[in-house]
Amino acid sequence: MPLALYALTAGAFGIGVTEFIIMGLLLEVGTDLGVSIAAAGLLISGYALGVVAGAPLMTALTARWPRKTALLILMAIFTVGNAACALAPSYETLMAARVLTALAHGTFFGVGSVVATGLVAPQRRASAIAVMFTGLTVASVLGVPFGTWLGQACGWRASFWAVAAVGLLAMVVIALLVPAERQAPEAPDLRRDLRALMRRPVLLGLLTTVLGYAGVFAVFTYIAPILTRVTGFADSAVSPILLVFGVGLVAGNLLGGRLADRHLQRTVLGSMLALAVVLGLMSLVLHSKVLTVVFVGLLGVAAFATVAPLQMWVLERATGAGQSLASSFNIAAFNLGNAIGAWLGGEVITRGPGLGAVTWVAALVPLAGVAVALLAIRLSPGAHDAPAAGASLSPPRMH
């Protein structure tokens, strides 16, 4: 894999830390700004909605720019947004700064996915996307725990200053390592791109992404109370167990990319089905501490084994310049799935059978995703089963 891919990984790492770090700092932020824990938790929802809104907006605004320039501008927005978070004097300004930061999220991964596929041979495109997304998994394993520790030791603002520094470093490595395009980007045509996005195979691909990640976050949002109240772990055991989840994310991400390079359709279907099976079986082992830890790791593997295949799935179904828009919308779809999953898990806990049933209810959601993916395949019988054969892919030509 070329070094330029790891420059994209550095940017993905910073964005991943920003998205999730607030989860470990809710108490500190709430106490310092004088708001409840529930209000502090809305900083997570605000970020997710910023990603959903920012993906199409920023993709349209940057459509005329060379992709390398777009990546640098997006990382600049990310860096300024985190500095604004560190300086925020009130809850309202912190929320606004979080939303500002989120605007760069979807388009960075959308444009970055297209750039990544243009840096490697056709048969390695899904693996290239997986390498970039490794930044997110490393952020979960190392960045978020370190940021939480730093915030608890030095104040929550120090964590955001640290992430802003990561943003500056990512800008430098992207500027040095990501090659410029040999030709000017194709003139954007928003109507054409929207028509490409509205094609039924693309929409079904986006829906598959939403359903997959709704199942993941229906459980992951409430993993701490599940571990402590259902399985019986002490509060101090949650962080080490989440480290097992993070290691699973790294393994699943790389595995999903490698398998998708060989058989894209089968990997999409297989990874979604594996996710449903892991969630369903997890319901049967929650009263065994050893087996629960094992299944938390398997959940990490199954969750991120879907990411690169789903991103490639949507890219393959988009065409030409519409790829960047479709790719960005797929990142928004992941975040929409996060929000829906968190809501679904909450409904199961408060209105349904309770905390212990979250896992098996969550398993039904990726099963619905498998049905949608099968429908997409049936409606697109000419689609290829591997990105290497995907004639519709048109990555940028790079130096």
Q: Does the pLDDT at position 113 exceed 50? A: yes
Q: Quick one: pLDDT at residue 190?
A: 67
Q: Give the amino acid at 53.
A: A
Say if residue 109 is in the same domain as residue 200: no
Say if residue 88 is in the same domain as residue 100: yes
Say if residue 55 is in the same domain as residue 76: yes
Tell me whether residue 204 is in a domain: yes
Tell me whether residue 96 is in a domain: yes
Q: Quick one: pLDDT at residue 186?
A: 61
Write the secondary structure of the chain as one string of H (helix), E (strand) and C (coil): CCHHHHHHHHHHHHHHHHHHHHHHHHHHHHHHHCCCHHHHHHHHHHHHHHHHHHHHHHHHHCCCCCHHHHHHHHHHHHHHHHHHHHHCCCHHHHHHHHHHHHHHHHHHHHHHHHHHHCCCCHHHHHHHHHHHHHHHHHHHHHHHHHHHHHHHHHCHHHHHHHHHHHHHHHHHHHHHHCCCECCCCCCCCHHHHHHHHCCHHHHHHHHHHHHHHHHHHHHHCCHHHHHHHHHCCCHHHHHHHHHHHHHHHHHHHHHHHHHHHHCHHHHHHHHHHHHHHHHHHHHHHCCCHHHHHHHHHHHHHHHHHCHHHHHHHHHHHCCCCHHHHHHHHHHHHHHHHHHHHHHHHHHHHHCCCCHHHHHHHHHHHHHHHHHHHHHHHHHCCCCCCCHHHCCCCCCCCEC
User: Of 84-93, 312-321, 385-394, which range is least confident?
Assistant: 385-394
- d(C-alpha 52, C-alpha 173), whole Å: 27
Q: Give the amino acid at 141.
A: V
Q: Does the pLDDT at position 319 exceed 70? A: no
Query: Which single residue is written with the structure tokens 């790294």?
Result: 250
Give the pLDDT confidence of 213-230 residue by residue, as tens digits: 899 988 887 887 888 889
Question: pLDDT tier at 389 (50, 70, 90 boundaries)?
Answer: very low
Say if residue 38 is in the same domain as residue 79: yes
Tell me whether residue 399 is in a domain: no
Quick check: 51 and 105 in contact, CB under 8 A? yes
Give the mean pLDDT of 276-280: 96
Say if residue 126 is in the same domain as residue 193: no
pTM: 0.74
Give the mean pLDDT of 110-119: 82
Q: Does the pLDDT at position 187 exceed 60? A: no
Give the pLDDT confidence of 368-383 residue by residue, as tens digits: 999 999 998 887 755 5
Q: Does the pLDDT at position 395 exceed 50? A: no
- d(C-alpha 55, C-alpha 109), whole Å: 9
Residue 339: how many CA atoms within 13 Å on its side-chain side?
16
Say if residue 205 is in the same domain as residue 325: yes
**CA distances (Å), origin 192, targets 67, 379, 380:** 19, 21, 20
Say if residue 173 is in the same domain as residue 231: no
Domain boundary among 148, 167, 184: 184
Question: pLDDT tier at 388 (50, 70, 90 boundaries)?
Answer: very low
User: Of 242-246, 333-337, 384-388, which range is least confident?
Assistant: 384-388
Q: Quick one: pLDDT at residue 184?
A: 52
Structure tokens at 257: 């990319």
Q: Does the pLDDT at position 246 exceed 90? A: no
Tell me whether residue 334 is in a domain: yes
Say if residue 267 is in the same domain as residue 366: yes
Say if residue 190 is in the same domain as residue 167: no
Give the mean pLDDT of 248-267: 87
Domain boundary among 157, 184, 211: 184
Say if residue 173 is in the same domain as residue 286: no
Quick check: 104 and 141 in contact, CB under 8 A? no
Q: Quick one: pLDDT at residue 138?
A: 81
Say if residue 288 is in the same domain as residue 221: yes
- d(C-alpha 166, C-alpha 262), whole Å: 34
CATH of the domain at 304: 1.20.1250.20
The strand pairing partners of 398, in sequence order, are 181
- d(C-alpha 357, C-alpha 349), whole Å: 8
- Our count of domains for the chain comes to 2
Range of the domain at 390: 186-394
Domain boundary among 169, 184, 199: 184
Say if residue 190 is in the same domain as residue 180: no
